[in-house]
Amino acid sequence: MIVRRTSQRLLRFPPGDPVVEQIFLYCLGYAAATTGVLVHGWILLSNHYHVVITDVRGEAPDFFQKLNQNVAMLIKRHFGLPEEIWNTSQTTSTDLSNDECPSEHAVIERLVYTLGNAKTSGLVRRWSQWEGAQSRPEDMGKRVVRVRRPVCASPRTTLPDVVELPVTVPPAVAHWKRSELIALLHDELRRLPEPERPLGMKRIRQQSIWDRPAAPAHKRGGGSRIAGSRERRLAMLAVLRAFAEDYERALERYRAGEACVFPRGTWKMVRLFNVPVEIEGGTDPPSVAA
């Protein structure tokens, strides 16, 4: 699951604005189509988004860049904004895998968290009342969103006229009956705590893109990068620390002009300089490393 928030928590994505929804879905579809990322569910709130994805080809960094860059560019043109859209933090990405295979429980939990976020955030009484861009459980495995390029795009743009965004079933639960999966998600969404005094769509529609939430921001730290039990999170964070140490050692050798092999999972150095990467049982040739 990925999350990106606006600069200063400003409400740059007013729900009910059809162009804002068009921009988000167009950029999401374009990023997915050009990177092979599978999209399972999303919600666009007034100052951030949540999207649940599966990165099939190891192209997530490219997906993040294309989605966020194009959303920012088009939103700025739509509203005539001179400044940045996103905050200075990187896209928050929460790993849902378990031994490199997505956990069924984690995937279901994050889908419910995503689709029901307007309800749990105290914005609406029922999750389906949200009027911004939001997928539905029944979209998975059936709906293909076809979106035209927004008219606010530059006349010199190379972006395609139309993109298609299939809403796919997560591979971790692809063996489930689709009807049972949809019923489970609806049940879990109904069980989410109902806010005592939701803000309501009428008041939300009256907000300006220069407004921000009155409540103070939660201290988020670095964000939860791993989903699951405490034991699993600690184990996976240890793996990430080991990767970072191996990467720094390989980078030092590379800068010194010495022979080196980067750890499995290296992305940017492969893209920029085609460096060799470790694989199980050997080393990836530079030409096929991913």
* pLDDT tens column, 207-244: 999 999 877 766 554 445 555 566 766 777 788 888 88
pLDDT in tens, 18-63: 999 999 999 999 999 999 999 999 999 999 999 999 998 888 999 9
Alpha carbon distance 155, 19 (integer Å): 17
Of residues 231 and 138, the one with the higher pLDDT is 138
Decide if pLDDT at 263 tops 50. yes
State mean pLDDT over 273-289: 62
What residue segments make up the domains of the chain, in order of their start?
A: 2-228, 231-284
The domain defined by 2-228 folds into: Alpha-Beta Plaits (3.30.70)
d(CA 238, CA 26): 37
Q: What is the pLDDT of residue 225?
A: 59
Mean pLDDT for all residues in the chain:
88
